[in-house]
Chain A
Amino acid sequence: MKNIFLNTTLIATALFCFSSCKKQAEDIANIYKAPILIAAPISDAAPLCGAIKGTMLSGKTYTIGCDVIVNAGDTLLLQPNVHINVASNSAIIIKGTFISNGTQASPNWITVDGVVKNDTPGADPATDPAFAGKWKGLYADTSCYLMVLKWTHVEFGGSALGSTTAPKIANTSNTTAFTILFQNYKGSFVMEDSWIYGGVDDPIRISNGQIAMFRNTEEKGGLNGGDGFNVKGGTVGDMAYNFFIGNATSGQKVSNKGQPIGAPTSYVVMYNNTFVNCGYRQIQTGRGANINFEEGAGGKFFNNLAVNCKFGYRVVNTPVADTAHLSYGYNYQYGDSLSVANQFYPVGYITRPQTTDIPAPAYLPSNYTLGSVYDGTSAVQVGNPKFINYPLPVTGGVKLRDISTVGSFNFRLQAGSPCIGKGYTGINLQPLKKVAEDPVYGVTFYPQPGADMGAYQFNGYGNNH
């Protein structure tokens, strides 16, 4: 009897536990939550640190002493003529809204105090402050819905983001080294008439977002890699009248890599951009260009002007760009040397020569297949774009890669430039207009495509720098 009793007890215990012990087995986790910093009012009296919000006033100089953060729901607004000096390798972290409302007459500055630029042609990148990452950058988290930069100088960014003081930003690592990061496909990124100087990795990385990037100037973008405006999966918008000189890799690059679930396919319309001497610091063989479309990305590129770039306009084969939704033509190229002309249609890519390309691709062999090697001898030094002040072919014993800033050059067009009037202004080329127009909180206005090649229209339209 006792045996049976014991057996029954055992079985009963087992059954009881089987049915009721689930609750006790629940994992009870108590995981640390970082405190939300309370935003302090902005003062120019002492270096700023921690959470900030509000307005930076016209005419004042502010110092950022350590990482600052604009909390979700908060706004940091820079009135015209605000000067920010970032010290101590800090970052400006934006979980809320960031507006820098500079004007042509009163631009804003986000820079580092006391750094002297070294724009001597051929300066050693190892010691050039442009690539030294004097501060981290403007880092928008996924909660940032609006970032606007108008008439703003952003300089010397790109030191490693690190993690010692920053609240963790999504999709970054300690060694992330962008100057500006935006990452919200439901949010808007506007950059107009601004200057970006130097940088370590991509000067501007849009992981995803709705973008409007007009009339900006970028110099010395990226140290030994990095694309000027590098946009990834889920980015839609316009890039026009931008001017690039001395970028490490590409000027404007679009990919659909890393597309968030539910985000649109990357699609960017590009027109009237100018690229000079780009692609020479990229260490990976065969990379670096002016415009690059790859991996599922679609869009348009017309009326662009590329001068002495290491590679021509690139459409990537593997993983292939969305060629069904990619159109291009009326793009102008000029090369001093054979090595440049031999890559007008870069080897290994699938950029389709267009009859509207300048120079016309007549120098290609009749049996030319996309991406194959060809002899570009007859295209060398054809069609000097006749900039107001920039010697072509480059003279004075400097190499093409040595000139990476505007300095005293002037890349506007002389009268009689072959670039004038060659652009496409038809109905098939219109900006996407993904961001609403607003003098402060949106796009000032959407520029129309220009008839002259590149960022500077002979009639003064386009890039105002």
Chain B
Amino acid sequence: MNFFTKFSTKHIVVLSLILFLNLAATAQTIKGKVTDSSTGEPLIGATITLSGTTEKTLVRLDGSYVFKNVKPGTYQIGIDFLGYESVSNPITISAGQNATAPDVELKRTTKELATITVSTGLRADDKSARRLEKNAEFVQNILSQKTIELLPDVTVANAMQRMSGITIQRTSSGEGRYAVIRGMDQRYNNTLVNGIKIPSPDNKYRYVPLDIFPSDLLERLEVIKSLTPSMEGDAIGGTMNLVMKSAPDKFLLNANVAGGYSTLFSDRPFSHFSTSSINKQSPAEINGNSYSADPNGDFPKGNLLFSPKKNPINSTLGLTIGDRFLNNRLGVLVGASYQNIYRGSNSDFFLPNAQPTTSPGNDNIPVFSDIYIRQYSTQTSRLGLHNKIDYVFNKNNKISLYNLYLKMNEYQTRYSVDSVLAIQRTGPGSGNVQITNRSRWQQQSIYNATLQGDHQLTSNFKLNWNAVYSIAKFAIPDMAQYAVDHAVYTDPGTGQISETQYITQKMDRSWTNNKDQDLSGYLNFKYSPVLLKKTIDISFGGLVRHKTRDNYDNRYVLNPVLVGGAPQPFTDFQSAQYFFKPDQGKGNVTAVTFNNYNFKEDISAGYVEAKLMATSKLQILGGVRIENTQQKYVTIMPSTVDAKEGTIHYTDVLPSINFKYALNSKQNLRLSYFKSISRPSFFEIVPQEEIDENFNIKGNPYIKHSRADNIDLRYEFFPGAADQILVGAFYKNIQNPVEWYVVSAGGPSAQQISPQNPPSNATNYGLELVLTKYFGPFGVSANYTYTNSKVTTDKLYYYYNNGQKNKVQQQTRPLQGQAKNIGNVSLLYKNQKIGLDAQIAFVYTGERISLVSPIYNSDYVQAPYSQLDFSLEKKIVKHFSFYAKVNNLTNAPAKWYINQTNTFQSGKDILPQQDKDNKILVQRDIYKITFLGGFRYKF
């Protein structure tokens, strides 16, 4: 408190000086000047208000403003400008005297930690987004709140796909979840909330599932593609910064409510299960690892009893209230968002055998073991709550507290009919059919609390600090699956089909949970001395973060009881009987694995950067960041086991430099270089194991973190308020990329798939184009990105040489997730007279590898995918509008292929849905059309 008092006193001294000067003036006029704090440019058009009056004026071309004939008294001069922090300064004017207000340098509301914002009212639109992009010190793209509201999307992940250079990875229900930025897989990107890194609830990776964020909590969405030293260095593809709504400058009330429907469930019912019987903890967690789980009592069957739900209705609710109190010193914003969405997909999936087949003259041919016809029913409920409180002690001292809580529950039923191709099958119509039912309740949550302070220590020395606590949790309690199978025979003579009795198969029950907790402190200083009449901003500071992660995993396999020494006929699930094979119900066997671990990570970073105008047109921002990483993992494994624990540390020096050359007031040329890193996920470092029939999957504590050199060149043209043309090119060279492939480890016979650093670097280059143009009531927004990446890894190649043989063969391919061509086109219609906004949005994602196979030439490649969405918003009465969002208008199927000659179009090995001669279709998902319609209230 002393700290603040001290500065308040100082402030008063400054104020009285100003007052004294004012008293010396002679006429009743107030003059002032407003410029950009970093460029010194006049902020033409900024709005100036005088409290207690209706007086309003605009900043003139030279940056000045004037109020004439002002009555004596004390006023607040309010200064607002799009994309800038609002400022309010007191001024007193006496009779017969003029006053000159101190010059004001407005600060941009960039994502930088060095700012806090007092006003939001005007920042939410497209124009301010363009302004931010134009003035940013680095390469970035922004989606404004208004754009987001109007988008057909209700989650951040889906909104993301509208941005330049971004593709999204979808869940099995077609919902976007992760973002691939410029062809760089989600592992190479990081996610910030208000500039603060948040931990991921993901059970394996560091990247944050973006579908946990309801988009209506956002003020804007930024994707930063070139880093500066003040930013965390673990983003090779880019940094996603979710700027949440902050306290407004006046009373604000926004509300929306909507209902919707997926047409998928007009063809079939939604399959629902009850979670009431689910134990949150596994039998071993409850009773200890030496406890022998009771196959009946400890595994209630309630979550495997499914009931149909006809025509489930989706609903979304959003509410945001904000205001300022205590003479505008205290700002408060509270927002809540709730979504309950029923989605699903119908999926055909052909499972390739882990090992390809060979025969004389035929090498490395995929062979399929199963045809799965799957129906997913997924209910997702999202709750987002956040609030921001800021308090302005005085002009020089502000603090704010931000709280964010996100919770996502996903209830998923998967019904699979598996036509078993492997082993006993002569062709279509005969063979084994296995039916599996799975229920999965996935809980994820993120809580973040950030206390932030901004202090102007002297006129050119600023301090900004953040104290952050975050916790991310993930749990899948009692994921349950059971299976039954039977055989179908066709008599070749009579054509008669006979089926054998259904036999009860295994039942799987598993509990997994993890928790990531971060404690971080950020400290940033900015010193802006004037040297040779130019202001140089020198920033320095750093952060420390202490992360602890706990991971728990326990999987039980129950076997059907043999009845009279024979397989158990299946009648209904309730009466199915299960037992454990010897010892397999004990936590000592099921839960003592590398998957149960504790991970600690300490990051400490420091940076120094300087920003200056080298010439009146050339801005240079450069510096260096040093990040030190200390990691330690401890698994539950006993001391007889190698790699049961370990420590890893490294220090990175990350230089970066950004040049921004203003060709004129509307055009910029940017060039930047930065070095960045990517840390392997916890799941990859800890030598956790999954044993597969053919391949053992194993983590690799010797994996190295990736480092990348990144170069960006971009031309920007902002011809009108919200119009833009951006043309950019980038090149990335990634040392020690992390790729999963087969290695021999330990002995001649030990083969495993592990995360590895391939011996050669990966490269990625591309070109980005963005175009936004408004003409009259219409607008077009389009972007296109070309990406070309290369990485070479070892693969297994099977060939026939007097019997099946195999060898390691290298294959060069694009990075996983990278599409060569991606693009978006949106057509907008805006009629202010009738209050109508409408948008048709088209997304195209070119062919890309979605899953890297350990086998040569056998990667899963997703076919080009395009989706057409529609949305509109229509004002009904004042403050009220109706809005609608329609997704996937064309019901585009998502398809995956293995790019090899298709020998599965006929014959006994025929696979359904095949539509290409040179590609084997391996998966096809149908999501159908979804509708959402509702009302928005804005005050």
- B-contacting residues of A (Cβ < 8 Å)? 1-3, 6-7, 10-11, 13-14, 17-18, 21-22, 24-35, 37, 89, 122-126, 131-134, 141-143, 158-168, 170-177, 183-186, 200-201, 207-208, 223-224, 233-234, 256-265, 267, 280-287, 294-296, 298, 316-320, 322-325, 346-349, 365, 367, 369-373, 399, 401-402
Q: In whole angstroms, what is the CA distance A164 to B639 when docked? A: 9
- On whether the beta carbons of B622 and A348 are closer than 8 Å, the reply is no
| Interchain nearest-CB distance for A111 vs B (Å) | 16
B562 at the interface (CB under 8 A from A): yes
| Interchain nearest-CB distance for B500 vs A (Å) | 6
Total interface residues in chain B, CB < 8 Å: 118
Please name 19 pairs of A and B residues whose Cβ atoms are closer than 8 Å in the assembled complex, sorted by A.
A7-B612, A27-B649, A30-B648, A131-B582, A160-B581, A162-B583, A174-B589, A177-B581, A185-B749, A186-B748, A256-B803, A260-B749, A261-B808, A264-B805, A296-B358, A316-B422, A373-B490, A373-B491, A399-B566
B675 at the interface (CB under 8 A from A): yes
- On whether the beta carbons of B503 and A285 are closer than 8 Å, the reply is yes
| Interchain nearest-CB distance for A73 vs B (Å) | 14
- On whether the beta carbons of A122 and B355 are closer than 8 Å, the reply is no
User: Which residues of chain B are near A123, meaning CB under 8 Å?
Assistant: 565
Interface hits, B642-661 → A, CB 8 Å: 642-657
B704 at the interface (CB under 8 A from A): yes
Known: A131-B582, A347-B424, A372-B491. 11 other contacts (CB 8 A): A10-B623, A14-B622, A35-B639, A122-B565, A200-B581, A258-B355, A286-B487, A296-B804, A320-B367, A349-B424, A369-B426
Q: In whole angstroms, what is the CA distance A282 to B610 when docked? A: 72
Residue-wise interface mask of B (698-733) relative to A, using a CB-CB cutoff of 8 A (1 in contact, 0 not): 000111110101000000000000000000000000
B430 at the interface (CB under 8 A from A): yes
Closest to A30 in B: B647
Looking at the complex, which one of A132, A348, A402 makes contact with B426 (CB distance below 8 Å)?
Answer: A348
User: Which residues of chain B are near A142, meaning CB under 8 Å?
Assistant: 746-750
- On whether the beta carbons of A224 and B560 are closer than 8 Å, the reply is yes
User: Which residues of chain B are near A346, meaning CB under 8 Å?
Assistant: 424
> Given A18-B655, A283-B503, A175–B589 Cβ distance below 8 Å?
yes
Closest to A258 in B: B694
B286 at the interface (CB under 8 A from A): no
B492 at the interface (CB under 8 A from A): yes
- On whether the beta carbons of A13 and B655 are closer than 8 Å, the reply is yes
A-contacting 9-mer, from B112-120, B529-537, B915-923? B529-537
> Given A142-B747, A224-B559, A349-B424, A24–B581 Cβ distance below 8 Å?
no
Q: In whole angstroms, what is the CA distance A158 to B516 when docked? A: 38
Looking at the complex, which one of B358, B657, B673, B749 makes contact with A170 (CB distance below 8 Å)?
Answer: B749
| Interchain nearest-CB distance for B807 vs A (Å) | 6
- On whether the beta carbons of A163 and B641 are closer than 8 Å, the reply is yes
- On whether the beta carbons of A319 and B353 are closer than 8 Å, the reply is yes
> Given A27-B705, A296-B804, A285–B432 Cβ distance below 8 Å?
yes
- On whether the beta carbons of B592 and A319 are closer than 8 Å, the reply is no
Q: In whole angstroms, what is the CA distance A367 to B495 when docked? A: 14
Q: In whole angstroms, what is the CA distance A237 to B431 when docked? A: 32
User: Which residues of chain A are near B568, meaning CB under 8 Å?
Assistant: 283
Q: In whole angstroms, what is the CA distance A317 to B358 when docked? A: 12
User: Which residues of chain B are near A22, meaning CB under 8 Å?
Assistant: 707
Q: In whole angstroms, what is the CA distance A351 to B923 when docked? A: 32
User: Which residues of chain A are near B421, meaning CB under 8 Å?
Assistant: 318
Looking at the complex, which one of A131, A318, A373 makes contact with B423 (CB distance below 8 Å)?
Answer: A318
B693 at the interface (CB under 8 A from A): yes
| Interchain nearest-CB distance for A269 vs B (Å) | 14
- On whether the beta carbons of A6 and B610 are closer than 8 Å, the reply is yes
Q: In whole angstroms, what is the CA distance A296 to B803 when docked? A: 7
User: Which residues of chain A are near B696, meaning CB under 8 Å?
Assistant: 171
Q: In whole angstroms, what is the CA distance A22 to B761 when docked? A: 14
| Interchain nearest-CB distance for B111 vs A (Å) | 23
- On whether the beta carbons of A3 and B589 are closer than 8 Å, the reply is no
User: Which residues of chain B are near A185, meaning CB under 8 Å?
Assistant: 748-749
Looking at the complex, which one of B355, B505, B656, B805 makes contact with A14 (CB distance below 8 Å)?
Answer: B656
Q: In whole angstroms, what is the CA distance A173 to B746 when docked? A: 16
- On whether the beta carbons of B751 and A260 are closer than 8 Å, the reply is yes
> Given A34-B641, A348-B430, A164–B503 Cβ distance below 8 Å?
no
Q: In whole angstroms, what is the CA distance A185 to B432 when docked? A: 33
Q: In whole angstroms, what is the CA distance A32 to B641 when docked? A: 8
User: Which residues of chain A are near B644, meaning CB under 8 Å?
Assistant: 32, 34
- On whether the beta carbons of A24 and B653 are closer than 8 Å, the reply is yes
Closest to B654 in A: A17
Q: In whole angstroms, what is the CA distance A325 to B359 when docked? A: 10
Looking at the complex, which one of B649, B657, B746 makes contact with A11 (CB distance below 8 Å)?
Answer: B657
- On whether the beta carbons of B612 and A25 are closer than 8 Å, the reply is no
Q: In whole angstroms, what is the CA distance A139 to B422 when docked? A: 29
| Interchain nearest-CB distance for B267 vs A (Å) | 30
> Given A257-B355, A260-B744, A183–B493 Cβ distance below 8 Å?
no
| Interchain nearest-CB distance for A418 vs B (Å) | 29
- On whether the beta carbons of A3 and B707 are closer than 8 Å, the reply is no
- On whether the beta carbons of B487 and A285 are closer than 8 Å, the reply is yes
- On whether the beta carbons of B582 and A164 are closer than 8 Å, the reply is no
B811 at the interface (CB under 8 A from A): no
| Interchain nearest-CB distance for B858 vs A (Å) | 14
- On whether the beta carbons of A372 and B426 are closer than 8 Å, the reply is yes
> Given A160-B582, A318-B367, A10–B610 Cβ distance below 8 Å?
yes
User: Which residues of chain A are near B564, meaning CB under 8 Å?
Assistant: 122, 399
User: Which residues of chain B are near A25, meaning CB under 8 Å?
Assistant: 650-653, 677, 705, 707
User: Which residues of chain A are near B588, meaning CB under 8 Å?
Assistant: 162, 164
B614 at the interface (CB under 8 A from A): yes
Q: In whole angstroms, what is the CA distance A32 to B685 when docked? A: 13
Closest to B618 in A: A7
| Interchain nearest-CB distance for A36 vs B (Å) | 10
B593 at the interface (CB under 8 A from A): yes
| Interchain nearest-CB distance for A16 vs B (Å) | 8
- On whether the beta carbons of A296 and B702 are closer than 8 Å, the reply is no
B638 at the interface (CB under 8 A from A): yes
User: Which residues of chain B are near A370, meaning CB under 8 Å?
Assistant: 426
- On whether the beta carbons of B589 and A348 are closer than 8 Å, the reply is no
| Interchain nearest-CB distance for A368 vs B (Å) | 8
Residue-wise interface mask of B (722-765) relative to A, using a CB-CB cutoff of 8 A (1 in contact, 0 not): 00000000000000000000001011111100000000000000
> Given A25-B707, A186-B748, A223–B581 Cβ distance below 8 Å?
yes
Q: In whole angstroms, what is the CA distance A274 to B17 when docked? A: 109
User: Which residues of chain B are near A28, meaning CB under 8 Å?
Assistant: 648-650
> Given A260-B748, A318-B422, A348-B431, A285–B647 Cβ distance below 8 Å?
no
- On whether the beta carbons of B566 and A280 are closer than 8 Å, the reply is yes
Looking at the complex, which one of A10, A24, A183 makes contact with B651 (CB distance below 8 Å)?
Answer: A24
> Given A17-B675, A30-B646, A319–B641 Cβ distance below 8 Å?
no
- Of A2, A158, A371, chain B has the most CB atoms within 10 Å of the CB of A371
Q: In whole angstroms, what is the CA distance A2 to B529 when docked? A: 12
| Interchain nearest-CB distance for B382 vs A (Å) | 36
User: What 8 pairs between A and B have smallest CB-CB spacing?
Assistant: A142-B747, A348-B424, A133-B582, A265-B803, A31-B646, A296-B804, A173-B691, A14-B655
B637 at the interface (CB under 8 A from A): yes
Residue-wise interface mask of B (611-638) relative to A, using a CB-CB cutoff of 8 A (1 in contact, 0 not): 0101000001011100000000000011
- On whether the beta carbons of B360 and A29 are closer than 8 Å, the reply is no
| Interchain nearest-CB distance for B436 vs A (Å) | 13
User: Which residues of chain A are near B648, meaning CB under 8 Å?
Assistant: 27-30
User: Which residues of chain B are near A257, meaning CB under 8 Å?
Assistant: 354-355, 693-694
- On whether the beta carbons of B486 and A285 are closer than 8 Å, the reply is yes
| Interchain nearest-CB distance for B147 vs A (Å) | 36
Closest to A21 in B: B653
B689 at the interface (CB under 8 A from A): yes
Q: In whole angstroms, what is the CA distance A200 to B647 when docked? A: 39
Closest to B747 in A: A142
Q: In whole angstroms, what is the CA distance A346 to B641 when docked? A: 45
| Interchain nearest-CB distance for A42 vs B (Å) | 20
Looking at the complex, which one of A134, A262, A264 makes contact with B803 (CB distance below 8 Å)?
Answer: A264
Closest to A72 in B: B747
